Amino acid sequence: MNSVVVTQPLPPQLLAPLARYCDLQVLATDESLTPALLADARGLICLLTDRVDRALLDRAPGLDFVSSVSVGVDHVDVAALTERGIPLGHTPGVLVDTTADLAFALLLAAARRLGEADRFVRDGQWTPDERWTPSFFLGKDVSNATLGIVGLGAIGQAVARRAAGFDMQVLGWTPSGREIPGVESLPLDDLLARSDFVSVHVALTGDTRNLVSAERIAAMKPGAILVNTARGGIVDEEALARALDEEHIYAAGLDVYDREPLAADSPLLRHPRVVFAPHIGSATTRTRARMVELAVANAAAALAGARMPHCANPAVYG
């Protein structure tokens, strides 16, 4: 039993280092991960779209490791893996700047109404009767505004560095209470009350699910803009849609959703001031290659009986 299941085609040249140690079973794009596929597998290389839960693990008796091509591991039952002594690899670090860039792009696009403006031009609405006037397409200033960063890990800090270039005042809150130079740390509710922009950068865990709840959205500064490039379950989407309806929240920039793909009947879709992206925070050619390289390095270490370089449940190593 020396086979490793890879749940999507990944660049063969990046998988090549593994081929020396195991038989790779690479699923086709339209194939899904099923328990039967893992019945004889020693390892699994998966994506954030694969659900790795107890039921699956119970039917994978020979599984020695899981390596996810993602930094977030909320799609995996980490506790169930740890109980079984199975290391879980993930890919921190390499997607920090790419994801921070997208968060800032969404922040700017939401503030300056770029989604609406793009549709306006494409749809032929820019006419001699509808053109530049002093009140045409007004948005919000980003420079010198206050940005609240929820989660001061590597991506949150990278967003703070970008904000400094826009002369923003940067507030931060993080579950660990960590202090970052140039960022004023304060309790989450105070951050929400003071911020013109709020950008979410915590991992989705039992503690952060619904962190930006209906009550917290209601307590945000009137006219604020919310950006989420972390995970959908952290923000109450229904409450966000209501706050947009009531014009308590001015706009939002969203890359992640509680259910992905976003349901066609999501109340968020009716809001012209929501700028949507389809979970593309890490989607650049270079970053995706680096993520696969790390996932392969994690798998190679596990196959060699060594410690994974980036393990999300290091408790398995004692």
The Cα–Cα gap between 173 and 200 comes to: 10
Nearest distance, CB of residue 120 and ligand DGY, angstroms: 30
List all residues 6 or more positions away from 85 whose beta carbon is below 8 Å from its beta carbon.
Answer: 316
Nearer to ligand DGY, 48 or 109 (CB): 48
Nearest distance, CB of residue 253 and ligand DGY, angstroms: 15
**Residue-wise burial string across 176-207, b where 16 or more C-beta atoms lie within 10 A, e elsewhere:** eeeebeebbeeebeebbebbbbbbbbbbbbee
Q: Could you tell me which stretch among 64-72, 142-150, 237-245, 308-316 binds ligand DGY (CB under 6 A)?
A: 64-72
Q: Residue count at the site for ligand DGY (CB under 6 A)? A: 7
Nearest distance, CB of residue 72 and ligand DGY, angstroms: 3
Nearest distance, CB of residue 216 and ligand DGY, angstroms: 22
72 lines the binding site for ligand DGY (CB under 6 A): yes
Nearest distance, CB of residue 306 and ligand DGY, angstroms: 23
Q: Could you tell me which stretch among 21-29, 68-76, 121-129, 211-219 binds ligand DGY (CB under 6 A)?
A: 68-76
Question: Which residue type does 96 have?
Answer: V
Nearer to ligand DGY, 172 or 281 (CB): 281
Which residues carry out catalysis? 231, 260, 279
Nearer to ligand DGY, 71 or 297 (CB): 71
Q: Is 110 exposed, middle or buried (0-12, 13-18, 19+ CB in 10 A)?
A: buried
Query: Which one among 4, 41, 48, 96 touches ligand DGY, defined by CB under 6 A?
Result: 48
**Residue-wise burial string across 73-105, b where 16 or more C-beta atoms lie within 10 A, e elsewhere:** bbbbbbebbbeeebbbbbbbebbbbbbbbbbbb
Nearer to ligand DGY, 244 or 262 (CB): 262
Nearer to ligand DGY, 48 or 240 (CB): 48
Nearer to ligand DGY, 244 or 252 (CB): 252
Query: Which one among 33, 71, 239, 292 touches ligand DGY, defined by CB under 6 A?
Result: 71
Residues 112-141 that bind ligand DGY (CB under 6 A): none
235 lines the binding site for ligand DGY (CB under 6 A): no
225 lines the binding site for ligand DGY (CB under 6 A): no
Residues 263-292 that bind ligand DGY (CB under 6 A): 281-282
CA distances 258 to 47, 57, 208, 266, 313, Å, are 17, 24, 13, 10, 24
| Interface ranges with ligand DGY (CB under 6 A) | 48, 70-72, 95, 281-282
